[in-house]
Amino acid sequence: MIFRKGTDLTMEEKNTKTKFRTTIGGQALIEGIMMRGPEKQAIVVRSPEGLVVKEEELKLIRDRHPILGLPILRGSVTFLDSMVKGVKALMFSADYYPEEDLGEPGKFEQWLDKRLSNETMEKVVIGFSVVMAVCFSLLLFMLIPTAAASLVQYVTDSEVVRNLVDAVLRIVIFMGYLILVSRMKDIRRVFAYHGAEHKTIFCYEKGLELTVENVRVQPKHHPRCGTSFLFVVIIVAILFHSVVFALWPVESLLLRIAIQLLLLPLVVGITYEFNRYVGGHDNPVTNFLARPGMWMQNFTTNEPDDSMIEVAIEAMKRVIPAEKGKDRW
């Protein structure tokens, strides 16, 4: 134990008194980390020449349109906003990642360069990337399981069996995807930066000084992680669809898919509120509810090295608000 001179409180007891939950969150990038605080966002990338930093003030849609900040509605808005900012940050980090010489750009790339400015090109690429990411997620985790489960109708008319098969397929595909991705060499490093992000946030929340030594010993799993959010989205979607189709059986595959798409904003909104509640409370019930999502992080977080922790600390320091407590959950 380390005792503070002139008091009978241990350092551990002191830190417990200052422990809180922050709204600051982050995202792992290619050899870097993005942290988002209540006022600004910071991207820190480790390039061959050293650390590259980009800071910017946060401009939220709900600040311009308060109605979009209401419960349930804010879930989808926040999710899409995070995706756009996440893609921008990934593109920024990719610019400093050493690549092999790919030769001269193709005719299509040259045509785009001549007709579009760099800013317009960036917006096009970001928009296309977000749309493709959403479409891929819908295809993999919604449309394929629903289409495969529809084959059950040739064996049984039970709506319960059809919903059960759909649910099992969604979870299996989601887990299989995470396991497959986690085995990719380059992604393993990204997931190590993910672990550094979590450890740094834990260290800050415990009131400890942000040093490599203090951060290194923190847990790499965090209850407010995006992996947990995606997993809960799937679970909430399963529950919603099971209830809806149990009350209103729908045979048509296209109609079932259309209904699921219409329910998606509501599912995302409820999941967001659920995660906010669980993330902001520490009791046996919320800890139990957070366990499945925490377990899924076994596939998306790895132990970071000290250089990764240094990047996370630098990003965190730049988004901590000057007004103490402004980032309190």
In tens, the pLDDT along 104-162 reads 555 555 555 565 556 676 677 778 888 888 899 999 999 999 999 999 988 888 888 99
Report if residue 10 sits inside a domain.
Answer: no
The residues, ordered by sequence, that sit 6+ positions from 138 with a Cβ below 8 Å of its Cβ are: 261
pLDDT for 127 = 82
pLDDT digits (tens, 9 = 90+) for 190-204: 999 999 999 999 999
Q: Is residue 7 part of a domain?
A: no
Residue at 5 is within a domain: no
79 within some domain: yes
Q: How far apart are CA 289 and CA 269, in angstroms?
A: 17
11 inside domain: no
Over residues 210-217, the mean pLDDT reads 97
Residue with tokens 């997620």: 137
Strands (E), the chain: 25-29, 32-36, 40-47, 50-57
Mean per-residue pLDDT, 271-291: 83
Determine the residue type at 182.
S
In-domain check, residue 327:
no
Domain tally, the chain? 1
State the amino acid at position 267 in one-letter form: V
Range of the domain at 135: 17-97+106-317
Domain for residue 3, yes or no? no
In a domain, 9, yes or no: no
Indicate the DSSP class of residue 123. H
Model's pTM, two decimal places? Answer: 0.84
